[in-house]
Amino acid sequence: MSQVLLIYPFFKPRRDRSVFRFPPLGIGYIAASLQQAGHQVHLIDCTFLDRNEAIRQALSLKAEVVGIYCMVTMLDDCLWFARNLREHSRLLVAGGPLPTCEPALFLDHFDAVIRGAGEQAAQALLQAYEQHTDLSLVPGIVLNRGQGGCSKGDLYFGPDPEFLQDLDRIPFPARDLLPNESYIRHGRKKYGYSITTVMSTRGCPYHCEFCSNVVFGGSYRERSAANVVDEIETALTLGYERISFADDVFTMKKDRVITICREINSRGLDFKWECLGRVDALDTNMALEMREAGCTRIFFGIESGNDRILKLMNKKITTTQARQAVNIAHQADLQVGAFFILCYPGDTDDTVLETLRFATSLPLDYLGLSMPYPLPGTDLYDRTRDRINRDWHPDESPFGSHVLIFDADFSEFKMWFAILKGHAQFEIKKRMGKLAPLLLAIFEKPTDGIFQLLK
């Protein structure tokens, strides 16, 4: 059996402002499935490493097969690893969201790309590699021309991958290969508690214009409640105190959520957890069951405070539903977070200001504001493809965490002004008590005017 090295090439940006930092489940799943098939697997998670230490560890392992995960924000570091490991490995493979969408970006540096969820494809690829059979027959594989398969331009695509329907058959992520102690220390320092992720479903049946769900291909599949809670117990034994459900929409089905909550309670587990939900998939009974089972916080991707923009985004929700869901969660004594995209293609000055007023009128405990990102594999990318003018490099921005990468109707400075204005209004409302309405009235009108004057 081959010795395999898997790399998660995330290095903390110089101007990192993210409050979220979780162990990478995807690469942990790949590691577990390869271990189940009998391979010796090493995993380097670069989250708490610098480049010199990461490459030193990678070279010291002398792995014959190397797989590197990649998303848009990791492209430069992914290719840097590939260049440095090219001569030291016999099979170099890329996987993850960006290789799935844009395999051509990788095949000058890698031997193969795996599209979509990688557990089955990685096992099949290693089997073909070890038995010296045709790699092009592996479902989900992409190769350069001349290596077999079905031609699409300069690339050959193997058969389309099939999604495993029974998710309970997939082994839990190989958390023992991840730097758990570093995540635990980071969490306790940053939030006051340690937290890790669990994914109870895969995929999402919705098709929001800006959302990249390419790895799971728009499919939606569920794990059983018992299987989910078994993994939670495993994670808690490692020293984590809280769980964040990493599902795209944890609250998709009410009966399933309630079954998981009751499974948690029936085992006498006492831990806090949080999740992502849709505003059209929460009612009072579900919120109360979640709170009883330890849920403390729910996040909603609301994205806009204008119904026309929500329709343009293909969100399939309304502002009325959004307000109702936030109120339900708040009244159930859950902390509530919400995400909004400002200056979306199609927005006007008036709709951006409407979104800010809507967002800061809600009883939120956390507010996330961002500028639009046309990610490869999304309908938004297709709509703005001819206007994309640079790659995502956060260190190029004086503010760091957001960078405008396409020729938009709003300048990057104007988008940043809107983001900072929204955060200021949110903090005034959250912290100033009875003075908040007066201070908001004083702050909001002149900053609205400045925003409208900016280009």
> Could you read off the pLDDT of 204-230 as tens digits, one per residue?
999 999 998 766 667 899 999 999 999
Dihedral angle over CA of 183, 186, 191, 192, nearest 10: 90
- SS3 label, residue 340: strand
Sorted by sequence, the CB contacts under 8 Å of residue 423 that are 6+ apart come out as 367, 369
Between CA 157 and CA 167 the distance in angstroms is 25
Q: What does the pLDDT read at residue 377?
A: 87
Provide the residue ranges of all domains of the chain, joining segments of one domain with +. Answer: 3-157, 180-453
Q: Provide the H-helix boundaries in 217-318.
A: 225-237, 254-266, 284-292, 307-312
Residue 67 exposed, middle or buried by CB count within 10 Å (0-12, 13-18, 19+): buried
- On whether the 3-157 domain is CATH 2.120.10.30, my answer is no
Q: How many other C-beta atoms are found inside a 10 Å radius of the C-beta of residue 405? A: 22
Mean pLDDT, the chain, whole residue set:
93
Assigned CATH topology for domain 180-453? TIM Barrel (3.20.20)
Task: Please give the share of the chain, as a percent, with pLDDT higher than 70.
Answer: 94
Lowest mean pLDDT among 151-155, 159-163, 290-294, 346-350: 151-155
Q: Is residue 197 left, alpha or beta, with left meaning phi > 0 and alpha meaning psi from -120 to 50?
A: beta
Q: What's the CA gap between 311 and 280, in Å, rounded?
A: 14
pLDDT tens for residues 63-89?
A: 999 999 999 889 999 999 999 999 999
Whether this model's pTM surpasses 0.85: yes
Is residue 300 a contact partner of residue 277, using CB atoms and an 8 Å limit? yes
